[in-house]
Chains A and B, each alone.
Chain A
Amino acid sequence: MVKEVFFKGAAIDEEPALLFDNADSSAVHKEPYFGLKAFGPFDKQCGVLKVGIITPKSTSASVQAFVRTLQVGDARYFSGGMKTFFRTDLKVSRIVEATGTSLKDYMDAGSQFVEKAGQGDADVVVCFIPRTSNLYTNTPYYRLKAVLSVHGFPSQMLTQATLSNPTFSYLNVASALFAKSGHVPWALGGEMPNTDIIIGISIADRICDDNRVAQNRYIGYVNVFDQYGKWMFFEGIAEAYKKEEISGKMVELVKRAVEKYQIEKGIMPEKIHIHYWKRFSKIEKENVIKMLQDLKSDAKVAFTSINADHPYRFYDLESRDGSFMRGYYVYLDDSILLSTTGTTDEFRRTFRMGTPKLLHVRTEQYPEEFITSDELAYQTLALTKLNWATTSVLIREPITLTFSNRLAYLTSVITESEWKQLQTGTVNINMRNKPWFI
């Protein structure tokens, strides 16, 4: 007789709520669309958002019309435009027309823009680019983004697909523009349990050298979030380094993140979470703990690995499509499998497809356990709702990973000298509090 084996699971009681006013704790909703429409953004100090435009002559009129609709709104899904959803006026401050659509044309237009525009002239630059396969990196998308970024201008790319079918894109583009200009569209409606700071780590193994990928040189960066999941800042190491230096550089990044958090918040974080897509090595954990001790900190630290790259699947044969419902999770030995994109009664109207890929979340805590598996499941689910580049509610990965992945992609085309420029001097001061890479 074979003994019956089973796993234990649980469900997150309530969908995390989002806050849409930093001065009014009742301005909450579970969905960005309805929250922004009813209450406006979390940060209501924006006033006027100055937008630059780079576009080929041939599409200039369409791009300007798109930006105008962002300002005045679209009757179907974005009624009232930026004024209603973000309490902000959009003003076009500068337009540069590229003479054609080749990479050179775009590079020339980008150079012309940064030569003429001072950093106060545009909060963000809207660029119309041809759609290219993401297999290639030497394209207008990447190169223009790199050129503008290293001169302190966040950018938002548009393609013909967006212009041809803009209805559901207006709000997403508007949200991205608002966030990239350094303002907060929304945050969590309540603190995440046992969390002061979350540090999303990424070590990218690709950095560009004269537009060719250079291997065996690494760059590291972190995105830092507070207890409300609010993105605070981005911090990177300016110089590329060798593989054997990864552990040391990772500790340096965590140290800088903790110190900057202390400066910004005025307190030392006591409950530190470090999110990474891979498992932490023993030496990485030991060095972080030692670094915190050297800072005379009594902080507790959770090393959390989050991975969606595995074959494990669970199903719920009682749900509409058989998918394992959003917010359900499975306890494994020392980890959980969490569904973030399964069907849910909460968002019945939301279109979903495929079988949810569960997140495998594993944590190790020092000096003792301070966050339970249930709290960790909630933290991870809540962090999926804070990607300001989209107002969709069914996002698989938490932003701690999403933002790192976005940046890792971009660094494959940013040259070492451009990267260094981004991490130092005036560009860094202008860009470090803006999620320019989302």
Chain B
Amino acid sequence: MVKIEIDNVYRKPGNLFHLEVVSKGKVYRVPLDFPGSYNRGLTVYDKATGGRLACTNFGFDWEEVELDSFMLKSFIAKQFGLCLRNKGYLTSKVGRKFGSSYIAYLASKEIPTQDSDIYKVFDGFEYRFVLIGGIFYLCINPHLKIKIVASIGKLMQKGLPAESMESLGAVYSGSEGKTCRCNIVSLENNKCYVRNLDSGNDEYIDSGIVYLIPRPEMVQNVLVVLGRRSNIIEIQRQYSFLKQREAAKGRFAKTLEIASDVAEQVFPLKFADFEIQFVPKTISLRM
């Protein structure tokens, strides 16, 4: 267990944890039409060129590029995510308006409910890497992961009326496994007539592969219509510390607990010639 120090002078900590770059390696551009095979885990997408950057040249004669902070942030984020997955965590991207965040959770941290045939809830955390004043920080915030496990087809089999799902938001796995967002227009037998929100086109999809968006209100609505007993809103309130008198203190303590786990399991983060260290101290605010 890594002990995280709290600034006891100002006592206004944040959920950003300082990452120290102990050593930096070199970065190479992967040729766009490179025919050989290489470990893509050690590469990141380069938005500027649409190609990939690698933190090792794998012995190939690749062009070295100058490493900047944004590239390094991409490599840290990628390696951190891979490392979490190696430790058994599941991760998914969070739809935030600004920046990219991820939710990580362990399958073993499922919160038991009476209706796990419809949805599952995991006690996880959200994370994001940020660069402020030239310094890297890992931002950690406790976060529940909600998964709907019953497809639209399954929900109908369980007795959910088709009309109660019309106009609701849903997702389905499109071509090449791409997740497509849609609105349900109508349901007939085992087919779902949806409006794809990205293309604007209407499509007929097998209702067995369409899932409602896992918003708590959506899940609760399904549970109420099906006459189920569990209450996801209550679970969410409980695990979001809303039921505590000192909610912020509860969230902060949980943040430290998660950060300590992560620090122990993932750091120092080593990849190629890079090494990143977690500084076991909360960021302090001086007023």
**Residues of A in contact with B (beta carbons under 8 Å apart):** 2, 4-11, 133-138, 212-213, 215-216, 277-279, 307, 309-324, 328, 330, 332-333, 342, 353-356, 360
B197–A322 CB distance below 8 A: no
B283–A309 CB distance below 8 A: no
B212 to chain A: closest residue by CB: A135
A138–B167 CB distance below 8 A: yes
Which of these binds chain A: B48-56, B203-211, B245-253?
B245-253
B215 to chain A: closest residue by CB: A135
Given contacts A312-B15, A353-B247, A355-B241, whether A212 and B221 have CB atoms under 8 Å apart is: no
A311–B141 CB distance below 8 A: yes
Q: Which residues of B contact A212 (CB under 8 A)?
A: 167, 183, 185, 195
B287–A355 CB distance below 8 A: no
Partner of B217, one of A8, A135, A314: A135
Interface size on B, residues (CB 8 A): 56
- B26 lies within 8 A of chain A by Cβ: no
Closest chain-B Cβ to A415's Cβ sits at a distance in Å of 14
- In the bound assembly, the distance between CA atoms of A332 and B195 in angstroms comes to 41
- 22 A-B pairs, CB-CB below 8 angstroms? A2-B20, A5-B283, A7-B14, A7-B132, A9-B287, A133-B217, A135-B168, A135-B218, A213-B195, A215-B183, A215-B195, A279-B98, A310-B101, A311-B141, A312-B16, A317-B6, A317-B11, A317-B249, A324-B12, A324-B248, A328-B287, A353-B242
A5–B135 CB distance below 8 A: yes
Q: Mark B255-276, 1 if CB is under 8 A from A, else 0.
A: 1000000000000000000000
| Chain B interface SS verdict (over half) | mixed
Q: Which residues of B contact A6 (CB under 8 A)?
A: 7, 10, 283-286
- In the bound assembly, the distance between CA atoms of A338 and B12 in angstroms comes to 14
A315–B14 CB distance below 8 A: yes
Closest chain-A Cβ to B178's Cβ sits at a distance in Å of 17
B285–A8 CB distance below 8 A: yes
Given contacts A135-B221, A212-B167, whether A310 and B132 have CB atoms under 8 Å apart is: no
B96–A9 CB distance below 8 A: no
Closest chain-B Cβ to A210's Cβ sits at a distance in Å of 11
Q: Which residues of A contact B96 (CB under 8 A)?
A: 309-311
- In the bound assembly, the distance between CA atoms of A356 and B15 in angstroms comes to 13
A313–B249 CB distance below 8 A: no
- B97 lies within 8 A of chain A by Cβ: yes
Within 8 A of A (CB), among B188-208: 195, 197, 200
Q: Which residues of A contact B251 (CB under 8 A)?
A: 313, 315, 322, 355
- B279 lies within 8 A of chain A by Cβ: yes
Partner of B252, one of A322, A333, A360: A322
Closest chain-A Cβ to B81's Cβ sits at a distance in Å of 15
Q: Which residues of A contact B20 (CB under 8 A)?
A: 2
Closest chain-A Cβ to B246's Cβ sits at a distance in Å of 4
A315–B132 CB distance below 8 A: no
Partner of A322, one of B15, B183, B246, B283: B246
Given contacts A212-B167, A212-B185, A321-B247, whether A315 and B286 have CB atoms under 8 Å apart is: no
- In the bound assembly, the distance between CA atoms of A310 and B96 in angstroms comes to 7
- In the bound assembly, the distance between CA atoms of A36 and B241 in angstroms comes to 34
- B240 lies within 8 A of chain A by Cβ: yes
Given contacts A2-B279, A135-B168, A315-B14, whether A7 and B255 have CB atoms under 8 Å apart is: no
- In the bound assembly, the distance between CA atoms of A21 and B54 in angstroms comes to 65
Partner of A307, one of B98, B183, B221, B249: B98
Residue among B128, B132, B183, B284 with the highest chain A CB neighbour number at 10 A? B132
List 14 other contacts, CB 8 Å, given A321-B247, A333-B133: A135-B215, A135-B218, A212-B195, A310-B128, A311-B141, A311-B143, A314-B12, A314-B14, A315-B13, A317-B13, A317-B249, A321-B249, A330-B14, A342-B248
Q: Which residues of B contact A138 (CB under 8 A)?
A: 167
B11–A316 CB distance below 8 A: yes
Closest chain-A Cβ to B215's Cβ sits at a distance in Å of 8
Q: Which residues of A contact B183 (CB under 8 A)?
A: 212-213, 215
A314–B247 CB distance below 8 A: no
B197 to chain A: closest residue by CB: A215
Q: Which residues of A contact B277 (CB under 8 A)?
A: 2
Given contacts A5-B18, A9-B286, A315-B248, whether A136 and B98 have CB atoms under 8 Å apart is: no
Q: Mark B210-235, 1 if CB is under 8 A from A, else 0.
A: 00000101100100000000000000
Within 8 A of A (CB), among B75-131: 96-99, 101, 126-128
- In the bound assembly, the distance between CA atoms of A324 and B251 in angstroms comes to 12
- In the bound assembly, the distance between CA atoms of A369 and B14 in angstroms comes to 29
- In the bound assembly, the distance between CA atoms of A279 and B101 in angstroms comes to 17
- B149 lies within 8 A of chain A by Cβ: no
B7 to chain A: closest residue by CB: A6
- In the bound assembly, the distance between CA atoms of A328 and B141 in angstroms comes to 20
- In the bound assembly, the distance between CA atoms of A307 and B99 in angstroms comes to 11
Q: Which residues of A contact B15 (CB under 8 A)?
A: 311-314
Q: Which residues of B contact A136 (CB under 8 A)?
A: 167-168
- In the bound assembly, the distance between CA atoms of A330 and B139 in angstroms comes to 15
- In the bound assembly, the distance between CA atoms of A4 and B135 in angstroms comes to 11
Residue among A133, A136, A137, A324 with the highest chain B CB neighbour number at 10 A? A133
Q: Which residues of A contact B195 (CB under 8 A)?
A: 212-213, 215
Q: Which residues of A contact B217 (CB under 8 A)?
A: 133-135
